[in-house]
Each structure stands twice: as structure tokens, then as C-alpha cells.
Structure 1
């Protein structure tokens, strides 16, 4: 339903309120979001990643406000903050709902990929609360610790950039962004084999996974020829029924859910680059 509401928002004059209602259907009494918001787990309990996703979606459609962040999101995030000052990526599901194996063994320690975007959103909305001080120390320490690890995960990189764009420490941010650019262009990170079934999916990124529009911080990494070539290949990979598939999914049903997510992503990319006829 979230993807359907987002499709309406971007392509059919839908409202941000419709997106908000779809997102909040996944919200739990503790303020976190669960219930299989990402198809890899149908477990109902709140997850940090799903709660970050909810925050990002509301920001994306212009529905998020300072009041919503402070009243609806921060109590949950503060309740799961670790001693290091960050929030975990995921918790191991406590129920017997289907889930991918990697969720059953996930490390429940603080993560850069969730803490950084949360801090970025707080800075964007001019919020200043005590929680942020230790969290920011954690984020800078994590950048130094992991360096080029996970650079292949374009979802992580985009979330890091949310923080780097809005942090007050722009000197550090610029140096970190320059490092990210250097690491992304290391041979083997970008998947150049367009015939690979995993091309453009997790672990095998192409240019558009990083440069989602010409306004992207990372757009300058790629030539116009590369961008155009990858756009053409995205169009070529559309299935006859209109979808873009992934290899993700623990069942036929969740594979369809992932296809919906991937299809929305592809359509937004094509729209960003003016490849969809009005």
C-alpha cells in the first residue's frame, strides 16, 4: 500500500496525507514501525530500520514536521539507543513470522545506517536535543571505523549522505564525501555487466543507484554516457506486465512485494531523468 500511495503521489496527483495514512498503518503502540514494512520479515514488532524508513518517506513527500519527529518518533528512538549513542539497524524478530535468515542472527548493536539518517533529519528540521550530541560522536567514529566497508550498499550510502548534507560540521562532511566518491569508483564496486541478473540490485550497483538524479551529490562521478546507458538498460529490464523484478523474497508473495518496491524506484529514477512521457 505504501508503494501504491507513493505512486499516486508522484504520478497521479495523490496527496501526502494518503502516504502518511499508509505509513502509519505499520505503527505500533511503542511508536516504532513493524508488521513487514520491508518484505524480508513479516514480524509485527517495531524495528529501527522500518522506523527510519517511515521517517524518510514522510520527509520525502513533505508531510514530516518538527512536531511529528519529536512526538511520534523520538520517544521510540531514544528508548532503543545503545550505550554508544546510536540506534541499532534491526532487532532479531521475537515471533515465528517468516523472515530472511540474516534477520535471525542480526547484530543488535548501534548502526551507522540508521543513526546517521536520523541525525540528518533532526538537523534538517532545526531540532536540537541532548540525544544528538552522543549520537553524532558515534556517527563520526563509525565513519572512521568502517571506512570503505559497505560502500557497495547504495542504500547505506544514501542514508549517510542525509547526515553529511545537513550536519553543521561541513568540513568533516566534505572530507567524508570525497572519501565516499573515491571508494565508490574503486574497480569492482560498480557492476558493469548489464547481463548480470543482479545488476542494479543489492551488492551489484550501477551509476543510478548512487546518482538517483542530476541533483545528487554523487552525480558528478559518472559520465553522461554512463548515465544514459544505464537508463536505457533500466528501460530494457522492464517486464511485459510493467514490473521490474528483484531476486529478493522468501516467498512468491514477498517477491511480488519487492517487485513493487523496485518498480516504484525505477519509475522515480526515470522520472528524475525525464524519461517518462507525459
Structure 2
């Protein structure tokens, strides 16, 4: 099954008329031969004087305050389009990350807002301790771009200890697992990495992580992942975890879930505007997955 040209154009038009500038520039990059510089400038619009990224880079908050997670998202986006460099990481990112590193050597996931800007409730109750899902990808990018700085030693010790501590308790989070894999792909400790990847495969396979109920409107959203959340392309580390039949079935279901206005929706959003922003993020994600699998009509 493929997404028809007409339905692709409907998705394009939804993004261009409803999504944020960053999704519009990413769409242009991936589907219209866009320049990576447009993405670079869209990302840096979220940057603060302290070097961190804020301003609702994830639309669950309207606060301008810097958040570690948003700064990781900025790194991921720059890497996605090929404009991340060793110099950018060291100059524009590491001073912020080093300034918020905890005594354990890791970077927190998020901070509680100091402002009264609108935000989802989970921002107000967040635990501000060091987290695997921010520290691991940061280390992964440092390794990928051949960076060796003293900060990395204690951070890596923290990451391995966190893998051992949390085990399978968070594998349901398809936003976190790819960030762990960024580290596991690039770390020099490949023997340990291969063991951890094998553990991840077993945990995802054996504890009911994959959500089977395709009649549920929440299928594929947070807490209810499908195969494509873990294997968004055939090049994904976890791709071989799933049968061809499962991948095909999930692609078909994903295509069928497109709305009449071209979007793929979510339940996320603190306002009507941010609901559209989340839909823009989700729609772009689906289009990238379908492109990866060659499922968009030429």
C-alpha cells in the first residue's frame, strides 16, 4: 500500500498552512530539495542567551526557559539535516550542558518551570535529576563527531549505570529508545553496547510493549507504540526485530489514519494552536517514515 500523490499533497498543504516554521523547513528539506540552512535558522530561533533551547521547542510549554530535552532536540534536528559539526557542538551546546550536569555526571531530562507560562502538568512535577534519555544521546553525538573531552568520562559511567538500573521499565517510550540507540551506535564500548541492544530487543519483544489494538485512536501515540515507532526505516537498529508482515500491516494502518484535511493527529496540545503544531509534527514524522519505506507515490 502506498500514499497517493493526492494524499501526499494534502499532507503537504496541512503542514504548510498549520505547522510551525521548523516543521515547514524540515518538510522543505526532505521533500522539496530544501536547503539545510533554513532548518538551521529555524532551530536557532529557539536558542537562549544561556546556550540552551526553549520557547516551546516541544509544544507542551509556552515558556521561553531553556530545557535540556529541547537542547537535545536541537542537536538531533541539526544532525538530521547534516549541518551539525564538531565546532557547533563544542561552542554552542557543551557550555550549556556542562553548566547543568549533576553530581552524578548526567544531564537532567527537564527542569520545573520558574515562570507561570502555560504548560502541561508533567512539566510542573518533573524530577530534576540526571536522565539517561538526555545524557545518552549527547554522548552519542560527541562520539559521532569525534569529540573527546573530560566531561564524557563521568557521563558515560552514569549512562551504563542507568541502563543497569532501569532495565526494561521505560522501553515503552519510543521517544527515549532512539536516543539510547544514538549512544549505543557510536560508543567505543561496543561489546557492552551489543549486549544492551540485545536486551532492548528482548524487552520490546517479550513484555507487551507493542500495542496491538488498531481500533484504538491512540495507537502509535505515546504509551501505545507500534513497530514503526522503533523501526522508522529499514536501516534502523531494531528493524530486524519485526517481521515483514508486521511492518507491512503497520504501514497500511498508518496510511489509513490520515485525516480528511491531510493531517495525522495526536491528542497532545495545551491549546487549539498547539494541537495544530503537534499535528504538524506528527504529519511530518509519518511522511518521513513513508518516504523511508518507499511508500509515497511518485
- Pairing 1:12–2:32 present: yes
Separation in structure 1 between the aligned mates of residue 165 and residue 246 of structure 2, nearest angstrom: 32
Residues 1-278 of structure 1 mapped to structure 2, 5 A cutoff:
1-278=21-298
Separation in structure 2 between the aligned mates of residue 93 and residue 240 of structure 1, nearest angstrom: 37
**Which blocks of at least 5 consecutive residues in structure 1 are unaligned?**
none
**Which blocks of at least 5 consecutive residues in structure 2 are unaligned?**
1-20
Post-superposition offset of 1:2: 0.8
Separation in structure 2 between the aligned mates of residue 181 and residue 188 of structure 1, nearest angstrom: 12
Post-superposition offset of 1:277: 1.5
Post-superposition offset of 1:188: 2.1
Indicate the structure whose relative CO is greater, using CA pairs within 8 Å and at least 6 residues apart. 2
RMSD of aligned alpha carbons: 0.6
TM-score normalized by the length of structure 2: 0.93
Q: Give the equivalent residue in structure 1 for 2:18.
A: none
**Cα deviation digits, residues 26-67 of structure 1 (max 9, x gap):** 000000000011010111010000000000000010000000
SS in structure 1 of the partner of residue 253 of structure 2: helix
Separation in structure 2 between the aligned mates of residue 86 and residue 127 of structure 1, nearest angstrom: 17
Post-superposition offset of 1:69: 0.3
Post-superposition offset of 1:187: 4.1
SS in structure 2 of the partner of residue 127 of structure 1: coil
TM-score normalized by the length of structure 1: 0.99
Separation in structure 1 between the aligned mates of residue 272 and residue 264 of structure 2, nearest angstrom: 15
